[in-house]
């Protein structure tokens, strides 16, 4: 017979296990890695690695003239790029002491709120899909498509739009914009009502989100968290109310807040924020100053290419009174539209296309702003401008040394502080809770690891 087994030896040794979630994982977007320490199904701790998508945004912005940075801002939060465009331009305009036209400010508000809605639609739709609610994802992307069509009609692009300019906008709004936007908002409201019917009282969805991913108001403030994530804890900080910019101080809207700081509250806050954004858009459409007047019937409108050819052989008589029929990428940049969306500062604003093509002063103005070694030159100094991004306070800090290139550009990305707090938020929850909590962060890689 063998020796009897010692009862103490029978005791099973308990150890925690490390589990890699990502970076090659559908919910981690291929750019975030969470090393979770587990005891069974419980998360004891987590280490979050974000460094898989460094884009060198800040250094790229310092390599060229101020307006050259605008396409880079599109690629920060590429789900709501218009807010990034506008935030950067507002920082440079503060540095230069510029104030844009009334119509330009209203357009910026409208386009920012459209962008906020598309961001929240994507966040809720993707989170629901990762929890198994694929129908919700399809509904939300359908609604996002309504708004993407509006964005494309204004900017010429759907995602990387490069619409704002320092001192104004690329172009004025197209004909029929208001009617199409009101129709898109009406259809989006119907989709949100359907989605709330699918999720708002869904026992599985609520059980997966309620009392999960909790963070206290004090901890959220200590980490520097802003946006819907902070407001889910009960703090009502919103840059549009706390530090009004553009025309937000003239518009009536509410800031939705939660109570528990959990994933369910963050869902509810985002849903209500979309309703408030639509309310802002409708007020802005109503209050926006009138746009450009129609071209006088006596004036001639010719294609831009024809104007260039005529100018090359000296046939420029009367060009100053002639309108340009531009191709779609330049539509809305003619003289009738120019004064409504651009600051009247020649050292900042590109001339109207009729002037650039038709007279030497306009050509020289264009040359001085776009050629290497020239460009706009803000005075020496620095400026910080915060705007309310879809994920929270998005801030741009710009330093000028008096040349045509920014000496320093720094971004305050709203989802970075949330990712810093993620280990604390995940600890104590179950491994299955990692995905819905991460979804509620609405992490955007281009903004996070810029």
User: What is the three-state SS of 363-389?
Assistant: HHHHHHHHCCCCCCCCCCEEEEEEEEE
Is there a single domain that holds both residue 206 and residue 312? no
Residue 78 counted as domain residue: yes
Domain assignment of residue 203, given as a range: 57-166+173-289+377-430
Q: What is the tens place of the pLDDT at every residue in 346-399? A: 778 778 877 787 778 888 888 778 777 777 888 999 999 999 999 999 999 999
DSSP 243: S
Is there a single domain that holds both residue 235 and residue 266? yes
User: Which residues does 195 contact at the CB level (< 8 Å), separation at least 6?
Assistant: 124, 136, 139, 140, 271
Structural element, H or E, at residue 125: helix 102-130
Edge-first strand order for the sheet with 406-412 is: 381-389, 392-400, 406-412
Residue 3 has what pLDDT?
A: 54
Residue of 72 and 299 predicted with greater confidence: 72
Residue by residue, DSSP assigns 288-327 as SPP-PPPPPTTS-EEEHHHHHHHHHTT--TTGGG-EEE--
CB 409 within 8 A of CB 397: yes
Is there a single domain that holds both residue 160 and residue 252? yes
Residue 12 has what pLDDT?
A: 65
pLDDT at residue 134 tops 70: yes
For 23, half-sphere exposure in the C-beta direction (CA atoms, 13 angstrom radius) is 10
Q: pLDDT confidence of 124, banded at 50, 70, 90?
A: very high
Is there a single domain that holds both residue 323 and residue 347? yes
Residue 314 counted as domain residue: yes
Residue 34 counted as domain residue: no
User: How far are the Cα atoms of 171, 286, 289, 369 from residue 331, in angstroms, in the given order?
Assistant: 7, 24, 20, 20
pLDDT at residue 94 tops 50: yes
Mean pLDDT of 171-175: 88
Tokens of residue 411, six digits: 């971004």
Is there a single domain that holds both residue 229 and residue 352? no
* CA–CA distance, 422 with 438 (Å, rounded to integer): 8
Is there a single domain that holds both residue 189 and residue 335? no
Is there a single domain that holds both residue 126 and residue 268? yes
Q: pLDDT confidence of 168, banded at 50, 70, 90?
A: confident
Supply the CATH number for residue 231's domain: 1.10.645.10
Question: What does the mean pLDDT of the chain come to?
Answer: 87
**Which 3 state secondary structure label does DSSP give 212?**
coil
Residue 4 counted as domain residue: no
How many domains would you assign to the chain? 2
Is there a single domain that holds both residue 97 and residue 161? yes
Mean pLDDT of 397-404: 93
Is there a single domain that holds both residue 348 and residue 389? no
Is there a single domain that holds both residue 307 and residue 415? no
Where is average pLDDT lowest: 15-24, 336-345, 347-356, 408-417? Answer: 336-345
Residue 356 has what pLDDT?
A: 80
């Amino acid at each position: 017979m063998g020796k009897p087994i010692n009862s103490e030896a029978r005791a099973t040794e308990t150890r925690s296990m490390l589990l890699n979630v990502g970076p090659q994982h559908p919910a981690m977007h291929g750019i975030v890695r969470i090393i979770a320490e587990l005891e069974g199904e419980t998360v004891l701790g987590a280490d979050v690695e974000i460094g898989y998508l460094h884009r060198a945004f800040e250094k790229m912005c310092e390599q060229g003239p101020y307006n050259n940075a605008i396409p880079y801002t599109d690629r920060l939060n590429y789900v709501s790029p218009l807010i990034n465009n506008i935030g950067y331009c507002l920082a440079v305009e503060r540095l230069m002491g510029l104030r844009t036209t009334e119509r330009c400010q209203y357009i910026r508000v409208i386009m920012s709120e459209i962008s906020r809605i598309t961001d929240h639609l994507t966040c809720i739709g993707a989170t629901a899909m990762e929890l198994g609610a694929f129908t919700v994802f399809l509904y939300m992307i359908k609604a996002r498509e309504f708004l993407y069509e509006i964005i494309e009609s204004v900017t010429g692009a759907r995602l990387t739009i490069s619409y704002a300019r320092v001192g104004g906008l690329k172009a004025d709004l197209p004909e029929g914009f208001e009617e199409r936007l009101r129709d898109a908002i009406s259809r989006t409201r119907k989709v949100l009502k359907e989605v709330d019917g699918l999720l708002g009282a869904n026992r599985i969805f609520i059980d997966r989100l309620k009392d999960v991913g909790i963070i206290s108001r004090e901890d959220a403030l200590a980490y520097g968290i802003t946006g819907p994530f902070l407001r889910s804890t009960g703090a009502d900080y919103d840059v549009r109310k706390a530090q009004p910019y553009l025309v937000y101080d003239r518009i009536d809207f509410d800031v939705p807040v939660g109570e528990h700081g959990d994933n369910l509250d963050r869902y509810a806050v985002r849903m209500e924020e979309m309703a408030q954004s639509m309310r802002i858009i409708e007020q802005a459409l109503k209050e926006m100053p009138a746009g450009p007047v129609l071209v006088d019937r006596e004036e001639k409108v010719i294609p831009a290419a024809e104007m260039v050819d005529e100018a090359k052989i000296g046939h420029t008589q009367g060009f100053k009174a002639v309108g340009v029929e531009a191709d779609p990428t330049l539509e809305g940049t003619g003289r009738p539209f120019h004064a409504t969306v651009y600051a009247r500062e020649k050292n900042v604003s590109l001339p109207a296309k009729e002037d650039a093509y038709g007279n030497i002063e306009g050509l020289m103005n264009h040359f001085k702003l776009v050629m290497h070694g020239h460009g706009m030159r803000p005075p020496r100094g620095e400026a910080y401008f915060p705007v309310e991004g879809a994920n929270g306070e998005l801030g741009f800090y710009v330093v000028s040394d008096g040349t045509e290139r920014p000496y320093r550009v720094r971004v305050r990305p709203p989802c970075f502080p949330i990712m810093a707090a993620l280990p604390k938020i995940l600890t104590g929850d179950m491994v299955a809770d990692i995905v819905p909590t991460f979804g509620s962060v609405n992490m955007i890689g281009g903004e996070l690891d810029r």
